[in-house]
Amino acid sequence: MKTSEVREMSIADLQDRIQVERNRLDNMRLNHAISPLENTSEFKKIRKDIARMITILAEKEKDQK
């Protein structure tokens, strides 16, 4: 997910999307523990997306106050 797309999202949408991505990461970890995934670079990509969303969420919450 691009930064410009994340910045366009509302605070509630960001919070929901962060939760969805965290669940997706957990599911991928579980699946990887059972049988190896073909593309393990997805872990890094999802972690970076989550970090990006959390950072922008914090910026938006700070600006809102």
Here the CATH number for the domain that contains residue 19 is: 1.10.287
Location of structure tokens 């965290």: 22
Evaluate whether 56 touches 14 at the Cβ level (below 8 Å): yes
Predicted confidence at residue 64, as pLDDT, reads 87
**Residue ranges making up the domain that contains 24:** 3-64
Long-range pairs, 9-16, Cβ under 8 A, ≥24:
11/57, 11/60, 11/61, 11/64, 14/53, 14/56, 14/57, 14/60, 15/57
pTM, whole model, 2 decimals?
Answer: 0.90
pLDDT at 19: 98
Q: What is the pLDDT along the chain (65 residues), one digit of tens a residue?
A: 789 999 999 999 999 999 999 999 999 999 999 999 899 899 999 999 999 999 999 999 999 87
Residue matched to tokens 């990509």: 45
**Predicted local distance difference test score (pLDDT) of residue 1:** 79
Count of structural domains, the chain = 1
